[in-house]
Amino acid sequence: MSGLILKLGPHERVLVNGAVIENGDKRSRLAIKTPNANILRLKDAIHPEEANTPVRRVCYIAQLVLSGDMCPQEAKLQVIRRIEELSRVLTDRDSRRHLDLATKATGEGEYYRCLKALRALLPREERLLATRLQ
């Protein structure tokens, strides 16, 4: 994860390689220089009971790698399989682009990039599910 810049708000928390770090009273900017560091903004974290839709479930798996609760090799097959399932439903060009980015990131072991690409699909999924329920 070399070259990642984190911009943190006051008292924002972030998980870095399993350690929770809390920012101070002022905004700050951190440059992550270590390759393959696992980073997760806690404000973006999905709680287990919130992993209740297809996109949220695959996000949760990627998040487990970043939190150190799942090994990348174990997660890789699950993430790729679930992205493939999503690609059968989310067929528009923009969704495909995000799914392709997530697939590429997973293949490269970049689970932060994977999670970022998948999180972009959450509003679309929410709209689709809301339409289906009406």
User: What pTM was computed for the model?
Assistant: 0.86
pLDDT tens per residue across span 10-39: 999 999 888 899 999 999 998 988 877 888
DSSP-derived 3-state class of residue 31: strand
Number of CB atoms found within 10 A of residue 106's CB: 27
Nearest to 79 by CA among 129, 114, 52: 114
Domain boundaries, the chain: 4-42, 46-133
Share of the chain above pLDDT 90, in %: 70
Instruction: Please give the backbone phi and psi of residue 73, each rounded to the nearest 5 degrees, phi first.
Output: -65, -40
Give the pLDDT of residue 87.
95
Q: Which single residue is written with the structure tokens 């949760």?
A: 60
- For residue 131 the two structure tokens come to 């339409």
